[in-house]
Amino acid sequence: MSYRNIEVRKVTPRLGAEIHGVDLSQELEEDTLAEIRRALVDNQVIFFRDQDMTLDQHKAFGRRFGELHVHPAAKSPEGHPEVLPIHADEHSRYVAGEAWHTDVSCDEEPPMASILRLHTVPECGGDTLFSSMYAAYDALSPRMKEFLKSCKAVHSGEHVYRGYYQTGKGQREDTQNAFPEHEHPVIRTHPESGRQSLYVNSGFTTRIVGLNKDESDALLKFLFNHIAQPQFHCRFNWRKNSIAFWDNRCVQHYAMWDYYPEVRSGYRVTIKGDRPYFDSEGVEGELNLAPHRRVRAA
């Protein structure tokens, strides 16, 4: 189906699209909003350029897609608990998101989507990489898919957030005393597209339920390596006032910190999601590979 109110330019055939012809700081008409939502579901991650917005406008845009999520460990700007600052400079000892992950998958109902806007970018580098979990699932063998469909995995926030809570930075009532930890299906059915996707990530997933430790570690290592293959990826090169809007239900992302000691800075607004589920009737996709493809070095 085509778009009437926005222009959608695909970045790769598997995922990612740049959206043009819309000013997100303004209140959008319902049909434009519906097209943006369709573009997100169709492309898994969408990108916008030249979006000059206040924090209130950023939050207002996010709220059109659902209630906003409060991050369990954010140091939010005064008066904006739903805003997660993303910042790195010469004093940073780590950056948020420098590992393949879906946002806050340790929550019982992990965020549906995240909207990140950067106002300061390094001269070059600082890209965000996205990996399609539909494509990663589609590329598995039928037998591996069948096995994984019966599996659940534990997603824990403990190793990710421990330092924050100890210094009293946790800001959600449910996470003042305990680190979020929940079990989710390893194969997740997308509630809007109906497609099956792989739902484990190296940021939060700690073990596969019911396997012994060695088995679980080996399987997770295989899946994390599988997800990291470039054939499932697209890569976004930021400019000042760019926005990336990704669907956490079917993509993972990785923030590349190759620009030290330069500054990269912005804000993320995150939209609440639902409890992940597996539906055996979900849609099985196909990887669009050339039929006689052989891999060889050039």
Active site residues: 101, 103, 253, 268
C-alpha dihedral, 157 to 160 to 166 to 171, nearest 10°: -60
**Smallest distance from the beta carbon of 174 to ligand SIN, in angstroms?**
21
Q: Which is nearer to ligand SIN, 69 or 253 (CB)?
A: 253
Q: Which residue is nearest to ligand SIN (CB)?
A: 97
- Yes or no: say if 142 and 294 are a contact pair by the CB < 8 Å rule: no
**Smallest distance from the beta carbon of 269 to ligand SIN, in angstroms?**
11
**Smallest distance from the beta carbon of 67 to ligand SIN, in angstroms?**
19
Per-residue DSSP letters for 186-240?
SEEE-TTT-BEEE---TTTEEEETTS-HHHHHHHHHHHHHHHT-GGGEEEE---T
What span, in angstroms and rounded, lies between the C-alpha atoms of 129 and 44?
A: 13
Q: Contact residues for ligand SIN (CB under 6 A)? A: 86, 96-97, 114, 116, 128, 253, 255, 268
The two structure tokens encoding residue 192: 């809007």
Q: Residue 232 carries which side chain, given as an amino acid letter?
A: F
Strand partners, 45: 246
Strand (E) positions, 69-144? 83-88, 113-120, 128-132
**Smallest distance from the beta carbon of 227 to ligand SIN, in angstroms?**
15
Of 293, 283, 242, 250, nearest in space to 128 by CA: 242
Q: Which is nearer to ligand SIN, 249 or 268 (CB)?
A: 268
Enter the DSSP assignment of 242.
E
Of 15, 84, 8, 85, nearest in space to 48 by CA: 8
**Smallest distance from the beta carbon of 37 to ligand SIN, in angstroms?**
20
